[in-house]
Amino acid sequence: MWPCGLPNGTGRGEDPALCQPFHLVLSVCSLLYLAVGVPVGLAYNALLVLANLQDHSSMTMPDVYFVNMAVAGLVLSALAPAYLLGPSASGWALWGFGSELHVTLLVLFNVCSLVTMYSTALLSLDYYIERALPRTYMASVYNTRHVCGFVWGGALLTSFSSLLFYVCSHVAARVVECTQLRHTQAADAIVVVVGYLVPSLAVLHALVLISRVQKEDTPLDRDSGRLDPSVHRLLVATVCTQFGLWTPHYLTLLGHTVLALRGRPVDGQQLGVLLFAKDVSRFLAFSSSSVTPLLYRCIDRSFPGKLRRLIKKVRCGRRSCSTDQAGLQQVLA
């Protein structure tokens, strides 16, 4: 899939003797992800969304954020084949770097990355609010739904500014409006600062506050209206997974921007290493769309019950399901 030469076909990249084993491993992992990870991601993200929406009255604040991340995961899973089998990854690509389709896919990828990172950051902050001030409804489901709407809107606005740089980098120099907006490094810098630095600081601040609250034993800790204790484990696992899988992607963008700002030409070996790191980081970023719903399935205690109710509702269809208490007890047992 991934060739050892540079995208322009000059072939001056990494040493083929050192390059081919790493690219072979990456190609095998990508094919396995496309064959297994993408179907699993599509299935579990869809189940996560449907199971929560059909039982929306029982949704909690974390459920809303995970539904938001699941929608972004569905888009990422749909984009994965086009990216992992794209022009930088195969010799049989159906579209090129300068096409409108490439720009569209890039913008959608940036939108999903922003939604994922900000949903994780806001989940951490809202969990602290709910832990420190329960029953205040500051982190209620109603407010969280509106916050998630603003997250998608903000991601679209941020990606629109980056879209201008990407588009202007592919148009003719005679367009006066684009003469100063022809470098994609500016778009990468915007994505790194807005999409990674800000959420990272928010998550770090939230985790510090949560650790302080956990050390304090107050009567509120025995409040029956508090969140399930498993939410804390789910939060820690989600934060570690999302930032662990997305950090390489933003580091490669930062490295590409720093090399461009140096103003010196980059030799073939450095460029080859950077392109390989970009391919690996992109593969890790796409894999987050499959890992996150699996974490939710394994750690969240309410999801199995929601899934059973969804399956029962699908089997009944539009007919009203008669409540069979004996059969229900057997299923729950």
> Where in the chain are the domains?
16-301, 304-333
Tens digit of each residue's pLDDT (9 = 90 or more) over 255-298: 878 877 776 666 666 677 777 888 889 899 999 999 999 999 99
pLDDT at 91: 43
Average pLDDT over residues 181-202: 80
Amino acid at 291: V
Q: Which two tokens stand for residue 155?
A: 């991601």
Task: Specify the CATH number of the domain 16-301.
Answer: 1.20.1070.10
State the Cα angle at 110 between 176 and 266, rounded to 5°: 65
Residue 183 CB: number of other CB atoms within 10 A?
A: 15
DSSP label at residue 222 = G
Top-confidence residue, 320 or 227: 227
Give the length of the chain: 333
pLDDT(2) > 70: no
Q: Which two tokens stand for residue 62?
A: 């974390």
Most confident of 71-80, 135-144, 155-164: 71-80
Please choose, from the candidates 110, 64, 113, 105, the residue with its C-alpha nearest in 3D space to the C-alpha of residue 88. Answer: 105
pLDDT(327) > 90: no
Tens digit of each residue's pLDDT (9 = 90 or more) over 212-247: 887 765 555 555 456 677 888 999 999 999 999 999
- Write down the mean pLDDT value for the chain: 77
Rounded Cα distance between 4 and 102, Å, is 21
pLDDT(253) > 50: yes
State the Cα angle at 21 between 15 and 25, rounded to 5°: 135
